[in-house]
Structures are given as C-alpha cells and as structure tokens.
Structure 1
Amino acid sequence: MFININKTDFPKLYKRLFKNAPTRNNLFQLEFARAWANPDLIEVKEPRFAYELKPQFQDFFESSNEPFLGFDNPLNEHPEYHTAKEWQRVDDDIKNMYKKVEEK
C-alpha cells in the first residue's frame, strides 16, 4: 500500500510517512494504517487564520475598550483565529480593516 504514496502525487503525506526519524516514520505509518482501516478515525480540520488590524486603523481602536464585531481584542495582543466560512459572515467594510496574518 505505501509504495503507491509518492512525493509527486502526495507530497505532504509522503513527507509525513517517510521523511522523519525511523521511529517516527513507524508511528506515522501505523497511524495512517489505522485510519485507512477505520475511516471514522479521520478528522478533517478546516484551516483557521489569524486576522490583524491594519496599522491605519489601530489608533481608532486604542481609544476604545469595546469589543468590535466578535473581535474581542482589536489590537491583536492575542490574535483570534477564524475559518474561511466564519470570515465570510463578517461585513465587507470590517474585512477591509483586517489582514490575514497566519494559519493555525
């Protein structure tokens, strides 16, 4: 089964299964085999992104202690992470005030 996993067609899976220390490879291959045998173990996670207030809007929020449309910390001391689906529900005018900064 593992012979069909090549780095061209499945680069991330290939790296996960074969490009670690031998003991880690064995652990990851066993984990993959379990998921293959029981697909209910597979959990698909949607990437989450942190959004940071653009510099030109920071002065406005420094004077306010009010949460802003679910962004409890507009100055991004502890950035909040949102999925693309959650971000779609944010008003376009608000989206323009933030930029995507990192994936979690």
Structure 2
Amino acid sequence: AVSSHPSVIFDVSFWLPDADNSEMDTSNVYDLIRTVGGDLVEQVSLTDNFVHPKTGRRSHCYRIVYRSMDRGLTKDEVNVIHDQIKEALQNELKVEPRI
C-alpha cells in the first residue's frame, strides 16, 4: 500500500568512528534508523560517502523519508523522531554528528 499523505525528508550526516574510518556496515545504520523511527520511516538511503582530503576522516550522509499511512506528519513531530535517531546513532554506533 502507498500512502497518500505527504512525506517529510531529512538528512543526517556524521563522521565515522576512527576505528571504522575505512567503512561502516550500512545495514547497521539502516536497522537502527528503522528501529527508532518505526513505521514512520518509509525509506533510508546512503546519499554521500565523503573522505576529508586533509584528515582522511570519512563521513556518511543518509536521507530519511518519513511518512505515515494514515495522517500527515508535522515537521515538529518528525524533528522529535529525527533527534532520537541522531542520539541513537551517536550512542549505539559511536558516530560524531557532522554539522
């Protein structure tokens, strides 16, 4: 089933932990985002895999599409969930937010 309600799209960017600087298993990120966001997360995709030219540090950017099957979502409502996802990424995967 496809929802007729509009989506809300947010990105989350972070630096990988130094120990995982070469690469991070994206399935761990997808699973964590879907666990925290639940049914409101419609899609997750890795949109950028960047290596800083001077430091060699790697960052990832993920695009998260939020949508409800039965109602429209407000940006404020999605902000709360998105903040919970960012906090879980930091706590569980030890990433550093990229601002």
Q: Quick check: TM above 0.5?
A: no
TM-score by length of 1: 0.30
TM-score by length of 2: 0.31
Higher strand fraction (1 or 2): 2
Higher helix fraction (1 or 2): 1
Q: Which has the larger radius of gyration?
A: 1
Higher relative contact order (CA 8 A, sep 6+): 2
